[in-house]
Chain A
Amino acid sequence: MLEGLVALLPQVIFDGLLLGFVYAMIALGYTMVYGVLELINFAHSEIFMIGAVVGVEVFRYLGPAIPNGIVVLLLALLLGAIISGLMAMVVERLAYRPLRARGTTNRLVPLITAIGVSFVLQDVVRFIEGLWHNEFKLQMRVIPPLDGNFTFLTVFVQYKALILILVSLLMLFGLNYLVNRTKLGTAIRAVAQDMSTARLMGINPDVIISRTFLIGGALGGVAGVLFAVQYSTIDPYVGFFPGLKAFTAAVLGGIGNITGAMVGGLVLGQLETLSGTYLPTLTGGNFGTEYKDVIAFLILILLLLFRPQGLLGQVVKEKV
C-alpha cells in the first residue's frame, strides 16, 4: 500500500495545496484585523461560512437560469464578497466599536465578544436556512464546466481547483498592492502603527478600521464561496475548523504579515494532508487519519518554539 501511496505523492501535494489556499484566504482576514486592532476576530470563521452559504444559494437560484457556470461563479464570488464584507463591517460596528469607544483596554473583552458573535452568527444562519429551505446540510449544485477535470502526470485536477488557486493568488497580490501602494493602504498601515498619531495626521481610525473589516470580510466571503464549490457540502457550523486552522496559519506565518498568512496556510495545508494520508500506513494503522491534526499541530508547536514571531513575522518592539 505504501508504494501505491508514494506513487500518488503528487496528488497528495496537490490536495494539500488546495486546502492550504483555503486556509490562506481565510488567514488573510485574520491577519489584517490583527494587524490593525491586535484583535483575534474569531467571528471571521462565520464570515467565511456566510460566504459559503451565499455561494450555495446563488448557485441554487441562478444556476438553473444561467447556463454558463463561470458566469454564475463570478456572480457568486461577487455577492459572497459583498455580503460577507458588509456583515464583517456590521459586526465591527455593533460589537467591537462600542467597546473601543468605551476605552476598554483589556484585550480579552473584545476576544470574548468575538467568540460570542461567532455563536450568534452560526445560529442565525442555521435559523434562516431552516425557515427558508428546511435544510441543515446545504448542497452545492453540480456545475458542469467547473466540475470538468483532466489528469496531469497522475494528478487528478478539476477546473474548480484551478480557479480556487488562481483566485487566491489574485487575492494575495491584490491585497499586497492595496496595503502597500494605495492611499487607503497607507492609512491602514498608519492606524496599525499608531492610532492616535494617525488621527493627528487627519485619518479617522474608525473609518479605516471599518474598511479593514470590509476588505477582510470580503476576502473571507470569496474563500467561503470557493470552499463550497470545492467541497460541495456545507452547514452553518462549517466555518469552525477551517477558521481555527486559518488563524493558526496566520500565527505560523507571522500574524499581521500578509504574505506570511499565505505561506502559513500553505504549510499547514501540506502538513495536514501529508500526515492524514501517510500516517495510517506508516504506523501500521495504529495512528489513523484522525491524528492528522495532532501531527500538524505538533510540528507547528516545534516551529513556533524556534521562531515565536512566525515564519515571516518580525520581532516588533512593544508599542509605547
Chain B
Amino acid sequence: MKRLGIVALGVFALGLASAQSNVIKIATQSPLSGGQAALGEQIKLGAQLAVEEAQARFQKLGFRLELAPYDDQANPDTGVANANRIINDPDILGVVGHLNSGVAIPSSEVYARVNLVMVSPANTNPRVTDRGLSNVNRICGRDDVQGPAGAEFAVKDLKAKRIFVIHDKTAYGQGLAENFRKRALALGAEIPNSAFVGTEEKSNFATLITQIQAFRPDLIYFGGIYDQVGPFAKQLRERGIRVPILGGDGLDASEYERLAGADAAKDTYFTTVAGPISQFPKAAKFAQDFRAKFGKNAEGFGVYAYDAANVIISAIETAIKQSGGKKPSRQLVAQRVRLVKLSGLTGEIEFNSKGDIKVADYFVIHLDTGKYAEQKLLKKVSIAAPR
C-alpha cells in the first residue's frame, strides 16, 4: 500500500513537471565528427538557423524553442543510442535528420515507438519511407529515382556504353548503385557482374584501379560518400586514368574537392537531391545569414535542413493552436507534419501518404574545373515520388 502511494506520488510529480515545462526542443541527428562531419554539420547549422528565427514567435505563444543537436557519427549504433536518449526527453517534439540512410532506418524505428516525428533533409534510400511509418517524412528525393536519373544521364547524355560500378556496401551506396545499374542495363549499357564491386576500403584502391584498367570503361559510377570517393579519384587520376566519374548526392560537398584535389576532381559528375544554393532564388538571404552567423558557406544540405526544421516548426505551431495553447503531444505533431503545406526555400513541400515529398527535384552537376565552387548545373528535373 505504502509502495503504491509512493508510485502515485511519483507519477503525480512527473505529471506536474511535464505540465510545467514550457520548453520545446527540436533535435538534429547527423554526423558532427568523423569523415562525414562536413555534411552533417550543414544539417545541424541549417536547422539551428530555422530554430533561432522561430524563437520570437514561440515566445509569444509562451514557449521557449531550443535546438538539441546530436552526433550520430554516421554510425547506426550511435544513431540508435541517441534516438533512445531523444525519446526520453519529453521536450523534444521533432527530429531533423539523418544524413545516412543506414543510420536513419534503425533510428526512426526508435522514434516510431513514441510517435516522434522525423523529417529528413537528406535520406534517399527508398526503405526510409517504404516501411510506411507514420512518423517518417523526407523533403528530398529517393535513390530509386536518383539512381535511374543518373543512369539516364550516363547513357543518354554522356553516351557511356561500358560502365564500371562501385559502391560502399552501405544502405545508401549499394541501393543507389543497384538502382543505377538496373536502369543503365535497361538502356543498353554494359555492366557485367564482375564490373559491379562493393568495397569498404578507404585508403588503398590499387586493386580496384587495376580492374578498371582491364575493363576499360567509358564511365565509372560510384555509389558512395566523398570521404571514400575523393581518395579513390585521386589515386585513379594518378594512374593516368581520366575516365569521368559519376556519383550520387554523397559527392555533393566541397570536401570532395579537397580530398581528391581539384585536378583529380575534374570530370566528376554527380546527381543530387539537394541542389546548389544558387538554384533557389529565395535562399539568398539564408545563405547570407548563414555565412554571417557561422562563418562558413551554406551548402545544399544546409538549405534542406532549414526547410525540414521549418516543416516541424510550422506543424508544432498549428498543433499548439489545436491543443488550445498547451504543449501538443508528439502524436499530434506527427499528424500535423504529414498535412503540412509549406512554401520552403527549396520549393513547395507537401507529403504523400508514405511521407515522401510529393514532387522532388533532382539535379545533375558537373565539376568541370574540379572546383566545387565553380560547379555547373547541367540539368534539373522534377519527378513525382513513385507510389
Query: Hey, which bits of chain A sit against chain B, CB under 8 A?
Result: 1-2, 4-5, 7-8, 11-12, 15, 18-19, 126, 130, 136-137, 139, 142, 147, 149, 156, 158, 227, 231-235, 238, 272-273, 276-277, 280-281, 284-286, 288-290, 292
Contacts and interface: CB of A to CB of B under 8 A. Distances in A.
7 contacts: A8-B213, A126-B33, A139-B259, A149-B240, A277-B210, A277-B211, A288-B196
A130 B37 CA distance: 11
B239 interface: yes
Contacts of A156: 239-240
B199 A288 contact: yes
B33 A130 contact: yes
A289 B203 contact: no
B130 interface: no
Interface string B184-216: 000000001111111111111011101101111
Q: Which of A130, A139, A273 has the most CB of B within 10 A?
A: A139
B132 to A, nearest CB: 32
Contact of A290 (B33, B169, B195, B255): B169
Interchain residue pairs A-B with the least CB separation, the first 3: A285-B193, A4-B214, A276-B207
A224 to B, nearest CB: 12
Interface in B33-77: 33-35, 37
B231 to A, nearest CB: 4
A278 to B, nearest CB: 9
B192 A285 contact: yes
Contact of B198 (A130, A147, A290): A290
Interface of B: 33-35, 37, 169, 192-204, 206-208, 210-211, 213-216, 227, 230-231, 234-235, 238-240, 255, 258-259, 261
Contact of A233 (B37, B192, B202, B213): B202
Contacts of B239: 156
B198 A288 contact: yes
Contacts of B199: 288-290
A33 B204 CA distance: 27
A1 B213 CA distance: 9
Nearest to B216: A4
B193 A231 contact: no
Contact of A289 (B207, B213, B216, B227): B207
B215 A4 contact: yes
Contact of A7 (B200, B214, B215, B235): B214
B214 A8 contact: yes
B192 A1 contact: yes
Contact of B193 (A139, A284, A292): A284
Contact of B194 (A272, A281, A290): A281
Q: Which of B193, B194, B201, B255 has the most CB of A within 10 A?
A: B194
Contacts of B210: 5, 8, 11-12, 15, 277
A15 B208 CA distance: 11
A285 B195 contact: yes
A289 B198 contact: yes
Given A285-B194, A289-B198, 9 more contacts: A1-B192, A1-B215, A2-B214, A4-B213, A8-B214, A137-B35, A272-B207, A288-B197, A289-B211
Contacts of B259: 137, 139, 233
A54 to B, nearest CB: 17
A29 B227 CA distance: 29
Given A1-B215, A139-B259, A284-B193, A15 B234 contact: no
A290 B207 contact: no
A232 B206 contact: no
A53 to B, nearest CB: 13
A1 B33 contact: no
A280 B206 contact: no
Contacts of B238: 147, 149, 158
Contacts of B255: 137
Nearest to A285: B193
B197 A289 contact: yes
B231 A232 contact: yes
A1 to B, nearest CB: 5
Given A130-B33, A136-B35, A232-B235, A290 B200 contact: yes
Contacts of B234: 232-233
B235 to A, nearest CB: 7
Contacts of B201: 289
